[in-house]
Amino acid sequence: MAEEEKVEDGETEVTSDAAGESGGGKMVLLIGLINTLAIVGLGAMFLLKTPEPSAAAPSLGPVDPSMTVDSANGIDVSKKTGAPGPKVDLGEMTVNLKDPMADRYLKVRLELELDKEETRVEVEQRLSQIKYNLQTLLSGQRVKDVNGPKNKEALRKSMIRRSNAALGGTGRITEVWPSEWVVQ
């Protein structure tokens, strides 16, 4: 380990065999650790970076304002330009959610927005069918599928499609508006 050497002036000097190596080894490890963290941080930044809106979605060209939800890739452009249509209240619906670990349920109060007043008669005649389609859709969901704004919006669009599937005439349901949304 440490050895004492006698110097010509009578003083003793302590030397160490590993004095130069231990400090340099720690420095190399520290620099390596900093470089590794920097590379991991840059990699995470590139992986988690959101793409620019102009680069992510190519232009689809002009959209016909009379298009419905089904014909405009899930975007109802007709409602963005016009006044709200007539509404039909479906009332409260409670469904069990698909969760193998616990008994979970979703309680919603829904309102259907129609394209025109004449559609109201057809919707009232098919109300049981519409409710059944919506209950079937909602009861097949998991808790994570009914929470969060993106999931709720996707589910709302699915409810519009399922509701319209029950209609056979010329009328359409343009929106489904949940006024109550409780997950237990």
Are 44 and 95 found together in one domain?
no
For the question of whether the overall pTM of this predicted structure is more than 0.95, the answer is no
pLDDT digits (tens, 9 = 90+) for 131-174: 999 999 998 898 888 888 999 999 999 999 999 988 887 889 99
> Do 179 and 113 belong together in one domain?
yes
What's the domain count of the chain? 2
70 inside domain: no
Helix or strand or coil: residue 121? helix
One domain for residues 176 and 92: yes
pLDDT tens sequence across 94-142: 999 988 888 899 999 999 999 989 899 999 999 999 999 999 999 889 8
Domain that holds residue 101: 78-183
Amino acid at residue number 5: E
Nearby residues of 89 by Cβ (< 8 Å), 6 or more positions away: 110, 111
- Asked if residue 83 and residue 170 are part of one domain, the reply reads yes
